[in-house]
Amino acid sequence: MKRFKWLIAISLTFVALIPTPAFAATYTDIAGHTDEAYITEYSSYGLVSGYPDGTFRPDATITRAETVALLDKLELYPITQKDSSFTDVLPTDWFYPYIDSAVKSGVVSGYEGNIFLPQNEITRFEAISIVSRLVRSENYNSVQLPYSDSEDIPLWVNTSVRNLYAADVIDTYPENKINGSTHITRAEMIRMLDKAMKTYDFDTSRVSQTTLENYTNPQATATEIPHDILGYLTIESIGISKFPVKDGADLETIKTAIGHFSETPIWDGNVGFCAHNRDYKYDFRNLKNIAVGDTVTYETRFGTRNYQVTVIKPIAETDWSDITAAVEQNTLTMVTCIEEQPTKRLLVQAVQK
């Protein structure tokens, strides 16, 4: 049953902010639009409407308050009794009951300083963070993001991006960049919501169940790691425990840490490591004792993954083919010297479990 909403005096400003009902077929400005199908389908379920003049304005930006008003259409179950207490959201504001409801449903939060910034245009990262709370993909930690700027995704939204990409709610973007600080349009917001709802056949009760699960059992999030460290490598079977990884394969770098081949990715894809085979605190002296099937753990600011050793072999010192090869599964490739064989290297590869 629809939750009781406060009675609010409707002004012309309010009408401009919250579209009034209009059937998808009456929209005069979506024909041929890239997101026409998503807008039409989402509208057909009564989850979004157009403006009094028959337009939808697909390329207009959308505010954080308007986004929360859209979420209210889903009638999500309240998860917490926490009240909205943002200092910039007053009980007399038209959007107050929507924000209060969204807070209770566990799908939105504010900024530092207890503010919500309701009139700010919402960014792609902010929208992804919100929609991700409606969806849960078990494969979020194994996907390879295709974006050229994926390594610049902030920690607070990294898991959300991976969750929605794994769930096919988001896909590629222009110039192969996610550009998360971009202010998104009404059309893009509806595209994400429509794709999310399709996974539940538009059954809002199932969405509420997922929202509850995400609230009570959140997916693992990225962790803070010192700025000069890429991550930590652990291979318990050969006595390697949280060895720090630093970017670079030069001699100075691998005197103080496991080195990372800068030519390789740092998280998704084929990640390449190298180290001395002796004499240093963080070296690969015991890599020669590793066995197929052993577990390798790599912890980074993007998350933690477990890998299983699949390949152990000698390679020529000039052979970079395995290190730079594209892979379908996330892979760690580790290289070190072989004693008394100066032209050879030991290569070990592990794929994500």
Residue 273 half-sphere exposure toward CB, CA atoms < 13 A: 29
Cα 299 to the center of its chain, rounded Å: 17
152-161: buried (b, 16+ CB within 10 Å) or exposed (e) per residue?
ebeeebbbbb
> Which token pair is 9?
């005096």
Catalytic annotation on 227?
A: no
Cβ(193)–Cβ(117) below 8 Å: no
Judged by DSSP in three states, 35 sits in coil
C-beta separation of 52 from 18 below 8 A = no
User: Terminus-to-terminus CA distance in the chain, angstroms?
Assistant: 44
**Which pair of structure tokens corresponds to residue 204?**
């809002």
SS3 331: strand
Burial 138-148 (b: 16+ CB within 10 A, else e): eebbebbbebe
With both helix axes pointing from N to C terminus, report the angle between 186-198 and 36-44 in degrees, rounded to the nearest 10: 60
β-partners of residue 347 are 313, 335
Catalytic residue (choose from 227, 260, 274, 276): 276
Catalytic residue list contains 337: yes
Active site residues: 276, 337
